[in-house]
């Protein structure tokens, strides 16, 4: 789990240990009542290695990515970036492919830039 924690902080590029538990993120969050884990809890859970619970949480998809918490955080912990990192981690799980190579031809569409398929494939195929 420690590795997972390192991976999350590396993807997010922020250090949850800088958090001083002021709760300004949760004071600013417009989606607070919709999330089972609130922004400040998120930071503390990443710091304590409780990544599994976060990855199973529906709340990570309720986050609006409005970045109010990123803007207001006085310690540059930037909770939304951690939430985004957990979302990435969910998508990048081994054996949890969401896009298979054989599905790609069917998705090809002359109006769609091919780069979109390529990057989606890279992102979801692990």
Interacting residues toward other proteins by CB under 8 A? 18, 20-29, 32-33, 38, 40, 68, 71-72, 74-76
Q: Which is nearer to other proteins, 57 or 89 (CB)?
A: 57
Q: How far is the CB of 6 from other proteins (least distance, A)?
A: 21
Sequence-separated (6 or more) residues with CB below 8 Å from residue 91: 98, 123, 124
Distance CA 21, CA 53 (A): 20
Closest CB to other proteins among residues 24, 89:
24
Q: Which is nearer to other proteins, 21 or 111 (CB)?
A: 21
Q: Which two tokens stand for residue 36?
A: 């089972």
Nearest-approach distance from CB 87 to other proteins, in angstroms: 22
User: Residue 90 to residues 29, 41, 84: CA-CA distances in angstroms?
Assistant: 23, 19, 10
């Amino acid at each position: 789990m420690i590795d997972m924690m390192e991976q999350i902080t590396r993807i997010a590029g922020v250090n949850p240990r800088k958090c001083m538990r002021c709760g300004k993120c949760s004071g600013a969050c417009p989606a607070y009542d919709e999330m089972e884990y609130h922004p400040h809890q998120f930071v503390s859970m990443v710091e304590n290695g409780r990544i599994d619970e976060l990855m199973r949480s529906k709340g990570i998809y309720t986050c609006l990515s409005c970045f109010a918490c990123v803007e207001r955080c006085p310690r540059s912990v930037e909770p939304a970036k951690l939430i985004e990192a957990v979302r990435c981690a969910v998508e990048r799980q081994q054996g949890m492919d969401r896009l298979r190579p054989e599905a790609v031809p069917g998705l090809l569409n002359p109006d769609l830039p091919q780069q979109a398929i390529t990057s989606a494939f890279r992102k979801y195929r692990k």
